[in-house]
Amino acid sequence: MPRQILEGIRILELGQLIAGPFAAKTLADFGAEIIKIEPPGQGDPLRKWRMLHEGTSVWWEAQSRSKQSVCVDLRQPEGQELVRKLAAQADVLIENFRPGAMEKWGLSWEALHALNPRLIMLRVSGYGQTGTKRDEPGFAAIGEAMAGLRYLTGEPGRPPVRAGLSLGDTIAGLHGAMGVLLALYDRDARGGQGQMIDTALYESVFNLSESLLPEYSVFGAVRQPAGGALPGIAPSNAYPCADGEYVLIAGNGDGIFVRLMRRMGRDDLAEDPGLARNDGRAQRAAELDEAIGAWTRTLDSGAVLAALREADVPAGPIYNARDIAQDPHYRARGMIQEVTSAKGLTVEMPGIVPKLSAHPGAIRHRAPTLGEHTDAVLRGVGLDDEALRTLRGKGVIA
Residues belonging to the active site: 169
Distance of CA 263 to the CA centre of its chain: 38
Q: How far apart are CA 26 and CA 21, in angstroms?
A: 9
Alpha-helical runs (H) found in 230-349: 254-263, 267-270, 278-283, 285-296, 301-310, 321-326, 328-332
Distance of CA 333 to the CA centre of its chain: 19
**H or E segment and range at residue 33:** strand 33-38
Alpha-helical runs (H) found in 166-284: 167-189, 201-206, 212-219, 254-263, 267-270, 278-283
One-letter amino acid of 64: S
Q: Is 8 left (phi over 0), alpha (psi -120 to 50) or beta?
A: left
- How many Cβ atoms sit within 10 Å of the Cβ of residue 68? 19
CB-neighbour burial class of residue 177 (10 A; exposed 0-12, middle 13-18, buried 19+): buried
Q: How far apart are CA 170 and CA 388, in angstroms?
A: 35
Q: How far apart are CA 176 and CA 173, in angstroms?
A: 5
